[in-house]
Amino acid sequence: MRSYPASAAKGAAAAIAAATTAATATIAVATAEAAAAAAAAAAAAAAAAAAAAAAAAAANTELLKRCDLKRKVSKRLQQQMQQQQQQQELLLLRQKQELLLLHQKHKRMQQQMQQHQQQQQQQQQQELLLLLLLQIAVILPCNIITV
Q: What residue spans define the domains of the chain?
A: 12-109
3-state class of 1 per DSSP? coil
Residue 1 pLDDT: 45
State phi, psi for 84 to the nearest 5 degrees: -65, -40
Mean pLDDT of 52-74: 92
Mean pLDDT of 55-66: 91
Highest mean pLDDT among 40-44, 55-59, 76-80: 76-80
Residue 19 pLDDT: 84
Residue 79 pLDDT: 97
* pLDDT exceeds cutoff 80 at 8: no
Give the integer Cα–Cα distance in Å for 100 and 119: 28
Residue 147 pLDDT: 55
**CA-CA distances (angstroms) from residue 146 to 58, 94, 132, 139, 140?**
129, 76, 21, 11, 10
Residue 15 pLDDT: 84
Query: Confidence band (pLDDT; 50, 70, 90) for 146?
Result: low
Residue 16 pLDDT: 86
Give the integer Cα–Cα distance in Å for 33 and 40: 10
Give the integer Cα–Cα distance in Å for 75 and 68: 10
How many CA atoms does the CB half-sphere of 73 hold within 13 Å?
Answer: 6
How many CA atoms does the CB half-sphere of 63 hold within 13 Å?
Answer: 6
Specify the pTM. 0.45
Mean pLDDT of 95-114: 97
Give the integer Cα–Cα distance in Å for 132 and 125: 10
Mean pLDDT of 113-130: 96
